[in-house]
Homo-oligomer: A and B are copies of this chain.
Amino acid sequence: MKKRILISDIAKALGISVTTVSFILNDKAKEKRISEALTKRVLDYVKKVGYKPNELAKSLRTGKTKILGLIIEDISNPFFGNIARLIESKVYEQGYRIIYCSTNNDVDKARELIQMFYDRQVDGFIITPSDGLEDTVKQLQQSNIPVVLFDRYFPGLETDYVGADNFQGAFDATNHLCQQGYKRIGFVSLYSDQTQMKERSDGYLKAMDNNKQQSFIQKVQMDASDEEAMDSLKDFICENRLDAVLFSTNYLAISGLKASKKYNFVMPAMIAFDDHTVFKLLEPSITVVSQPIKEIAENLINILLLRLQGKIKATRKMVLPCELKIRESTKAKVTL
């Protein structure tokens, strides 16, 4: 186990100063008018001995860590897991690393995590904010550290944001159900003030209004157990004799499907928000409102990188279209 080689070792070996080596290594040779001959000599030597600067010392001096903080709702949910994977590989190419944590929608944990990441001097944040995190995000902004929100945002706060067009997605899905001839269409949501939920709910309501239909809405507690969710969904669907349901998240839809299996009732026509392996495979396969995961990840990173480079001033809000993937669960209703 050899000792790590330092920039001073290089300077000594070549009989020049540390400063010169540093300038050359940081692509400032031209700017600092270092002769080409010396530049080449240094570069060659550095390559030969395989010198790598100490990132910690570098970070301490520059204040930049090249680490981004990813604060996500739940890494084990495929929607977030997939976004995380895409984000990770994108920033990787730019020399950034990701340090992440799941909040499970617990605002206190989120606050603590952000504080810790801040203390570690991450260069920027990507956050799916839980209810009540507005103040913390505001503080970050005031500390001049780049933050991009995704999936949801705070209406009262000017922030960068990337998300799907939840209103239109829910609107289209609901319209599709109406067109297929369903008459008693329910909507399942969460007790939460998060914007994406509000938008989906509004999309559903608007479509129901347009079609002059009565609306049925059931909310589930965010911290409800699987059992509790299943129970309330069973009651909602059966007691209202719904012939179609729009679920506002993939895991709510999965709870619904589990309920139908457990309590042995026939799941009516249904649509889920966010695609999932399970939806493609079930018999019948499930129609979904699919968020453009790849585009969301790309835009998140683009905006964050631009901001890190100080290339944008005004906040950017990107709303990307969803896609309604029509499958077997919403075939036209046969009226008896």
Nearest chain B residue, comparing its CB with the CB of A78: B76
Contact of A55 among B54, B121, B261, B278 (CB under 8 A): B121
CA distance A217 to B65 in the complex (A): 49
Bitwise, A1-34 to B at CB < 8 A (1) or not (0) is 1000000000000000000000000000000000
Contact of A97 among B81, B88, B99 (CB under 8 A): B99
Of the 9-residue stretches A146-154, A202-210, A280-288, A310-318, which lies at the interface with chain B?
Answer: A280-288
- A278 CB contacts on chain B under 8 angstroms: 277-278, 281
Query: With A67-B99, A78-B78, A97-B99 as given contacts, are A120 and B88 in contact (CB-CB < 8 Å)?
Result: no
Contact of A121 with B56 in the complex, beta carbons under 8 Å: yes
Most chain B Cβ neighbours within 10 Å, of A78, A97, A121 = A97
Bitwise, A51-63 to B at CB < 8 A (1) or not (0) is 0101111011000
- A144 CB contacts on chain B under 8 angstroms: 1
Is residue A254 contacting chain B, with contact meaning CB distance below 8 A?
yes
Query: With A60-B56, A99-B99, A280-B258 as given contacts, are A82 and B76 in contact (CB-CB < 8 Å)?
Result: yes
Query: With A76-B78, A76-B82, A142-B1 as given contacts, are A281 and B280 in contact (CB-CB < 8 Å)?
Result: no
- A289 CB contacts on chain B under 8 angstroms: none
CA distance A75 to B120 in the complex (A): 24
Contact of A74 among B56, B57, B85 (CB under 8 A): B85
Task: Tell me the count of chain A residues lying within 8 A, CB to CB, of chain B.
Answer: 46
CA distance A261 to B285 in the complex (A): 10
Is residue A89 contacting chain B, with contact meaning CB distance below 8 A?
yes
Contact of B55 with A119 in the complex, beta carbons under 8 Å: yes
- A101 CB contacts on chain B under 8 angstroms: 88, 92, 97-98
CA distance A83 to B298 in the complex (A): 26
Is residue A185 contacting chain B, with contact meaning CB distance below 8 A?
no
Is residue A111 contacting chain B, with contact meaning CB distance below 8 A?
no
Min Cβ gap A54→B in Å is 8
Most chain B Cβ neighbours within 10 Å, of A76, A100, A142, A258 = A76
CA distance A98 to B72 in the complex (A): 14
Bitwise, A95-123 to B at CB < 8 A (1) or not (0) is 00111111000000000000010011100
Nearest chain B residue, comparing its CB with the CB of A115: B52
Cross-chain pairs A/B with CB under 8 angstroms, 15 sampled: A55-B121, A56-B65, A60-B60, A74-B85, A75-B75, A75-B81, A76-B78, A81-B81, A88-B101, A92-B101, A97-B116, A99-B99, A257-B281, A261-B283, A281-B282
